[in-house]
Structure 1
Amino acid sequence: MNAPENIAKIPSTALSASPLATQVAATFDQLGLSFDDRLGSDLTVFSPIDGSQLAALRMDTPGDVDAMVANARTAFAAWKLVPAPHRGELVRRYGAQVREHKEALSLLLSIENGKILTEARGEVQEVIDICEYAVGLSRQLFGLTIASERPEHRLTEYWHPMGVLGLISAFNFPAAVWAWGTTVALVCGDSAIWKPSEKTPLTALAFAGLLAKAADDYDLAPNHLVQVAIGDARCGTAIADHPDVAIVSATGSVRMGQDVAVRVAGRFGRSVLELGGNNAAIIAPSADLDLALRGAVFAATGTCGQRCTSLRRLIVHHSIRDAFVQRLTATFATLRIGSPLDDATHVGPLIDQIAFDGMQRALEQARREGGTVHGGERLDLTGAADGYYVRPAIVEMPQQSAIVCEETFAPILYVMGYGTLDEAIALQNGVSQGLSSSIFTNDVREAERFQSAQGSDCGIVNVNIGTSGAEIGGAFGGEKVTGGGRVSGSDSWKNYMRRATATVNYSASLPLAQGVKFDLDIDP
């Protein structure tokens, strides 16, 4: 089929495998990095822009992970003794490297991941921002002084470095998710092993490579402080199972998180899980509908619907539903879909055919369950025969059916109606996921109730903004099958440290707590 007028053409530089691969190689040269030691034949890396091959890499094995953990333990033994503000200095230097190379890193991320350049730049900026956050945190790893019931006793809590962090990340935010955990873990005194998605290993090698450069130039940083394991699920399993990996932070599917949680719990390790999201926005009658429209469109179509915080369910009051859906459909029709390397593009490609097939299965099921589908078809773009570009879909549903309760990692927005706020909140909470939520309303009572214990059961609860685009200062994560973890922000640094409660007796007597008496006759 011919591309409609609003569909961006793929640039001529993306018409074959070699130009994008050449661009990736040039980017690594610009960064002063090389992945030659990673070349092999185990893992072929493709660009979702046109399906062209970017590189072929050697995958690490579970045995390689064992060696990495041993090196990480040695690095941790040295790093935990470095004062936290000095650990923060390494992160500050790393953030400066990322800032210096922001545009090159953004281009690499866009080529390998497929998100549009403005979103790629935003993700790289998030890495920079989290570095600044972690640097400030390095001087604020504070404990507590607690009132003791015993005279001349001091009761305090301390936080100490935990050990080796094993971080497993997904393809959709191949840099930010790693930075959320790793930079904070570094200032907390931990070492780290990063297992990125097999779909975005080059981005991982670039971001971790810059950190390695910063560490090489910092005499307080030990060798092997941060390592990258390029591999499939076997590497992730090896990290989750390893008794010397103190913390496992995993971002991805619910299925993956369930496996990781059981493995880590079985050895009494610590897991931090940020898993699936099936996020909803409620549009109330009092809402600023222009604001709601803008918020809904970006939240539903950003990263081609491949965010854990993507808007997947729109719950609109019956009195405004038809008119709002009409405006929403018209706005979706204006979206420019095409190469993420074109600054005019709104929506880039899905990551691969697996994602496309999953989207089509979901739409077929929605039709069987009574849904009316607008959009969702694959687009044939010049020069992108092996890229999976789709028109984002709006699906009007008569009720919250089985498919609506599932998370499909694609740009599908299910629209349902409601009559009362109680009904809307019940729909919002009536799924197994609990990551992000929002309400658009100018009624202060509705807004406050939505944020209260009677309201949203999600970890992120927004008013008059969409479900995606969380800031780094707030704790990020969710409830229910989303995993309950908080990977960064607020006091989530405590996930990467161990707590010690200390009691100091500076008296000449030995009173026991709770009034317990245990008198002994001791000869002087």
Structure 2
Amino acid sequence: MAIATVNPATGETLQTFEELGPEEIERRLAAADSAFRRFRGLGLGERAALLNRAAELLEADQEDVARKVTTEMGKPLAAARAEAAKCVKAMRWYAAHAAELLSEERPAEADVRDSGAAAARVVHRPLGPVLAVMPWNFPLWQVIRFAAPALMAGNVGLLKHASNVPRTALYLEELFLRAGYPAGCFQTLLVGAAAVEGILRDPRIAAATLTGSESAGRSVAAVAGDEVKKTVLELGGSDPYVVLPSADIEQAARTAVTARAQNNGQSCIAAKRFIAHRDVYDDFAARFTGGMAALTVGDPMAESTDIGPLSTEKGRADLEELVEDAVRHGARTLCGGRRPPGLERGWFYEPTVLAGVTPRMRIHREEAFGPVAALYRVDDLDEALALANGTSFGLSSNVWTRDEAEQERCVRDMEAGGVYFNGMTASHPAFPFGGVKRSGYGRELSGYGIREFCNTTTVWYGP
């Protein structure tokens, strides 16, 4: 895939970029290694000042960078602004909380004496240069939610961004330099996927994090496993959205539209499978379908637009194939299911709700990366949980119920990295984020995220 900015609203190639050659990759690896040896010696206060400065700059750049993001991957401009603001919030949160999250731990005195020590403590030290392989769908947020904690912990970053968001990737490198970070602390590598293995195998790379497809995750995990290097993987998702009889159906349906259509439907944590109890199915289905059908599809730069284009032509073709397969095997299209009339240029697709989805259909098993929802009717909570868990993914989940017993049952039995009641899944810097099964492993955000790329070290003092 060429490294290029292609406007998905028009299909126009705006700029192409040369891939870095071996000599430049080597220079950047050496710079990262050298920067780490200096940067890890900075105190947490100095690191916090740098991160806060980067947050100030991003906040000032919000409008310009939002337009850059929308031009490269097609999300509505308002959503791009919100993404930039979310990054600013996370940077400030880590600047404020890193000292507490990384504070040394003191084992119980009785355990210290039992070990034969005069004293003992546990400290969290940085690992070194971390390779971040990041996707296009949240081209700012996916990077910052890695970079903010990693840099606060004393690591340095090398970003291999998706090949269709090079302008955003280069902006991020520039942002950290403008904030005063030493050269080499955060660098963008304009390289294709084929270059990742060689970079990851380099002994100067200490660890890797990847957000992306299951196939990309398998590839990085295999190489990192062979090299015995730490990885964090956040892969695909097919999150369930369960609606039970005690739910506020009007609110559940309204939130369901946002949960499915956010980011043009191109989000790992977007709700994708909508599972409604038979007692409320008809009401929920009618409200949800009406809400999806009412969304405005169009120019992502227009303030009135709810749904912009899909990010790539192939992405739209893949989504069309899933819908066509479902309809061919008996699914009913309650709304959408086609390219919107009058938007022939660009890669647009109508918000779509499919009812009568069965295991015969690919969309039952595969992730739909676009504004397409699969709707199911179930008889009880047992059936709802079986359906929710009947997938290879386990990123997050959404459950609408006021019944405390049902809530506790879902906490116990839902196979996912998150269970969100009476609302939709959303990431926040204070809460750990990640999945189970083929949605990946490890956690981002919160204290769990900042310590993923730390060497948790026992320090023992003899008597």
Question: Residue 456 of structure 2: which of 486, 499, 503 is its match?
Answer: 499
Aligned mates of 1:150, 1:210 — CA distance in 2: 48
The one-letter amino acid paired with 1:173 is: F
Aligned mates of 1:275, 1:200 — CA distance in 2: 19
Matches within 5 A, 1:283-322: 283-322=243-282
Q: Which runs of 5+ in 1 are unaligned?
A: 1-40, 216-220, 507-524
Matches within 5 A, 1:36-185: 43-140=3-100, 141-146=102-107, 147-148=111-112, 149-150=114-115, 153-185=118-150
CA, structure 1 residues 396+213, in 2 after alignment: closer, same or farther (shift >3 Å)? same
1:183-222 deviation per Cα after TM superposition (whole angstroms, max 9, x unaligned):
211111111110110011111111221211112xxxxx43
Q: 42-51 or 115-124, which moves further after superposition? A: 42-51
CA, structure 1 residues 400+284, in 2 after alignment: closer, same or farther (shift >3 Å)? farther
Question: Residue 394 of structure 1: which of 353, 357, 366 is its match?
Answer: 353
Aligned mates of 2:394, 2:445 — CA distance in 1: 17
Quote the residue 1:232 is aligned against: 192
Asked if the contact 2:271/2:398 (under 8 Å) is kept, the reply is: no
Quote the residue 1:20 is aligned against: none
- Per the normalisation by structure 2, the TM-score is 0.95
The one-letter amino acid paired with 1:465 is: G
Aligned mates of 1:482, 1:361 — CA distance in 2: 23
CA, structure 1 residues 182+398, in 2 after alignment: closer, same or farther (shift >3 Å)? closer
Aligned mates of 2:339, 2:239 — CA distance in 1: 24
Question: Residue 152 of structure 2: which of 176, 187, 192 is its match?
Answer: 187
Shift, 1:423, TM fit: 1.2
- Per the normalisation by structure 1, the TM-score is 0.84
- Three-state SS of the structure 2 residue aligned to 1:367 is helix
Asked if the contact 2:117/2:460 (under 8 Å) is kept, the reply is: no
Quote the residue 1:378 is aligned against: 339
Shift, 1:242, TM fit: 2.2
Asked if the contact 1:336/1:347 (under 8 Å) is kept, the reply is: yes
Asked if the contact 1:65/1:238 (under 8 Å) is kept, the reply is: no
- Three-state SS of the structure 1 residue aligned to 2:132 is strand
Aligned mates of 2:23, 2:224 — CA distance in 1: 19
Asked if the contact 1:229/1:235 (under 8 Å) is kept, the reply is: no
Asked if the contact 1:112/1:200 (under 8 Å) is kept, the reply is: yes
- Three-state SS of the structure 2 residue aligned to 1:272 is strand
Question: Residue 325 of structure 1: which of 256, 269, 285 is its match?
Answer: 285
Asked if the contact 1:85/1:187 (under 8 Å) is kept, the reply is: no
Asked if the contact 2:400/2:421 (under 8 Å) is kept, the reply is: yes
CA, structure 1 residues 269+336, in 2 after alignment: closer, same or farther (shift >3 Å)? same
Query: Number of aligned pairs?
Result: 456
Asked if the contact 1:62/1:234 (under 8 Å) is kept, the reply is: no
1:118-142 deviation per Cα after TM superposition (whole angstroms, max 9, x unaligned):
2111110111011112202332211
Structure ID, larger Rg? 1
Quote the residue 2:434 is aligned against: 477
The one-letter amino acid paired with 1:204 is: A
CA, structure 1 residues 64+380, in 2 after alignment: closer, same or farther (shift >3 Å)? farther
Matches within 5 A, 1:355-504: 355-374=315-334, 375-381=336-342, 385-403=344-362, 404-451=364-411, 453=412, 455-467=413-425, 469-504=426-461
Shift, 1:66, TM fit: 2.9
Shift, 1:341, TM fit: 1.0
Q: Which runs of 5+ in 2 are unaligned?
A: none
Q: 177-186 or 482-491, which moves further after superposition? A: 482-491
1:340 partnered with 2:322: no
The one-letter amino acid paired with 1:394 is: V
Quote the residue 2:313 is aligned against: 353
Aligned mates of 1:401, 1:312 — CA distance in 2: 17
Aligned mates of 1:65, 1:435 — CA distance in 2: 33
Quote the residue 1:35 is aligned against: none
Aligned mates of 2:125, 2:447 — CA distance in 1: 18
State the percentage of identical aligned residues.
Answer: 27
Aligned-residue Cα RMSD (Å) equals: 1.7
Q: 237-246 or 420-429, which moves further after superposition? A: 237-246
- Three-state SS of the structure 1 residue aligned to 2:121 is strand
Aligned mates of 1:304, 1:222 — CA distance in 2: 37
Shift, 1:491, TM fit: 2.1
